[in-house]
Amino acid sequence: MKIYALFLFLFPASILSAQSVFTYQPNRVTGNLEVFQTRQGAAPGIPQRIAEIYKNHVTGYMEIKEINGENKLKSVPEPFTNRPNYDLVTQIKPFDFPYQALIDQISALNQRIEYDIIQKQLLDKSLSESRQKAFIDFVKTSLEKNTVIANGLLNFYTSQYQFPSKLQDGYYYATQLDNQQWVDKAKNENTNGYFIKVGIARIEGNKIVEYFESAHSDMRSKESNIYRKLNLEVKGTVDKCKVSFRERGSDKYLTVYFFDNIIDPSFSIPNPNFGFFTVFTDGINGDLTPDKQIAGIKIVRNFTIDPDAGLNNIMYLPYSGAIEKSNFSFQNSCNNSSLTFAFKGNLGTYSFAVRILNFITKSEYKWTFNNMTIAPGTCTYKVLN
């Protein structure tokens, strides 16, 4: 039996080639995803099981086990001890594992897994300088491939035959693939691409009842300590490992995917025991529109912010949120508003800096709240007067 332990960052779906179509289907007994190949042509064949995809619980990587074959790929020790050597895949001649697109997808999935592992290891202060640099370089390269990764995730999703019938009550990692347009200054042209945002969803009765969007500058990191709690008005039902919902006061529906639960239907995360902090904008005059004034909030843990620091001096702080509309105390509650932030139950204090740039008066307005304790299950608020 040949084992391909791969490294990269995509998820595929129906993979089309001139001769074959490959699809995934979960095995109800083993829980692994099985790969079926259907040959195309004048007389299409019956789908044949040719491989299965499973998680190696020692290394944490996804692996492909081919039904036939003898060779095994070896892994390399540095800089990522358990990472399989992806380069060796192309050295097999003849290449008798005939679906390169599938390998690319599983490779993408493994890069996503490795990204999560590295995010945790970067918190280790005892890392050597060379190992830390290798980790940081990987994260930067990975972020630059967001659109490629997002397309791989969508391909992986659309190639599924079956999904878990429902999600049990609890908390889950969810992934939003936000398609946006921006100006590529190097090419001087508009470019479309995806931003990948990881959040936490609370599911009850197979419906989304709460959603927490990462406030970290790297919105793909699962190591975020702070999230913005969305004030949901429309709460959808989970269907085929995805769910749509809408924030109060918005006409835009958001959709998030539960990719982890395609691989492991029972996967969930512990209750994060959030504490909450809300900013009410009662004291902000005028419209919050980009042509008149912009407002934002920066947050940091275990650090004191200089009350006189301007927006340009605090941009480096790791957590942030845009203030795009008014959030009045007489209209919203503390833990359910458009500017409510959720904090994991960590030891320490939090500091907040709210800054407004008014383009009409050419003024900057500042509010700073330093060294606040946010206890799990409580909600603290400040009114901008």
- pLDDT band at 74, cuts 50/70/90? very low
Its domain, for residue 217, covers 170-263
The tokens for 41 are 């042509």
Q: How many domains does the chain have?
A: 3
Question: Does the residue 97 lie in any domain?
Answer: yes
Residue 187 and residue 75 in one domain: no
Residue 77 and residue 20 in one domain: yes
Nearest Cα to Cα of residue 165 among 28, 35, 34, 62: 28
Question: Does the residue 79 lie in any domain?
Answer: yes
Residue 243 and residue 279 in one domain: no
Q: List C-alpha distances in Å: 373 to 302, 342, 348.
A: 10, 12, 7
Question: Does the residue 315 lie in any domain?
Answer: yes
**Contact criterion met (CB below 8 Å) for 377 and 335:** no
Which one of 95, 128, 158 terminates a domain?
A: 158
Residue 105 and residue 248 in one domain: no
- pLDDT band at 172, cuts 50/70/90? very high
Beta bridge partners of 234: 246
Question: Does the residue 16 lie in any domain?
Answer: yes
Query: String of b and e for 348-369 (b: at least 16 CB within 10 Å)?
Result: eebbbbbbbbbeeeeeebbbbb
- pLDDT band at 4, cuts 50/70/90? very low
> How many whole angstroms separate alpha carbon 145 and alpha carbon 139?
10
Nearest Cα to Cα of residue 339 among 353, 355, 322: 322
Look-up: residue for tokens 């709210």?
A: 354
For 305, other C-beta atoms within 10 Å of its C-beta total 20
Q: Residues 102-121: pLDDT tens digits?
A: 666 666 666 666 666 666 66
Question: Does the residue 205 lie in any domain?
Answer: yes
Please determine, for residue 8, whether its predicted confidence score (pLDDT) is greater than 50. no
Task: Mention every residue, 6+ apart, whose C-beta is less than 8 A from residue 130.
Answer: 79
State the pairing for strand pair 379-383/275-280.
parallel
Query: String of b and e for 61-98 (b: at least 16 CB within 10 Å)?
Result: bbbbbbeeeeeebebeeebbebbbebebbeeeeeeebe
Residue 292 and residue 227 in one domain: no
**Contact criterion met (CB below 8 Å) for 270 and 171:** yes
Three-class SS string for 32-80?
CEEEEEEECCCCCCCCEEEEEEEECCCCCCEEEEECCCCCECCECCCCC
Residue 103 and residue 57 in one domain: yes
Which one of 129, 158, 187 terminates a domain?
A: 158
Which one of 243, 263, 283 terminates a domain?
A: 263
Interval 11-37 mean pLDDT: 62
Residue 203 and residue 279 in one domain: no
Residue 237 and residue 351 in one domain: no
CA angle 54, 4, 164 (to 5 degrees): 20
Of the listed ranges 46-60, 86-100, 263-277, 333-347, the one predicted with least confidence: 86-100
Give the torsion sign (CA, 119, 229, 350, 328). positive
Question: Does the residue 269 lie in any domain?
Answer: no
Task: State the helix-helix crossing angle for 129-144 and 100-121, rounded to 10 degrees.
Answer: 130
pLDDT for the residue 92:
38
The tokens for 196 are 């990948």
Residue type, 139: V
Question: Does the residue 164 lie in any domain?
Answer: no
CA angle 94, 97, 101 (to 5 degrees): 115
Please give the DSSP secondary-structure letter assigned to residue 238.
Answer: P
Nearest Cα to Cα of residue 64 among 14, 17, 21, 108: 108
**Contact criterion met (CB below 8 Å) for 333 and 231:** no
Residue 144 and residue 194 in one domain: no
Q: Residues 344-367: pLDDT tens digits?
A: 887 689 999 988 888 888 888 899
Question: Does the residue 163 lie in any domain?
Answer: no
Residue type, 162: Q
**Contact criterion met (CB below 8 Å) for 254 and 245:** yes
> How many whole angstroms separate alpha carbon 54 and alpha carbon 105?
14
Q: Residues 257-306: pLDDT tens digits?
A: 998 888 788 889 999 999 999 999 887 766 666 667 778 889 998 899 99
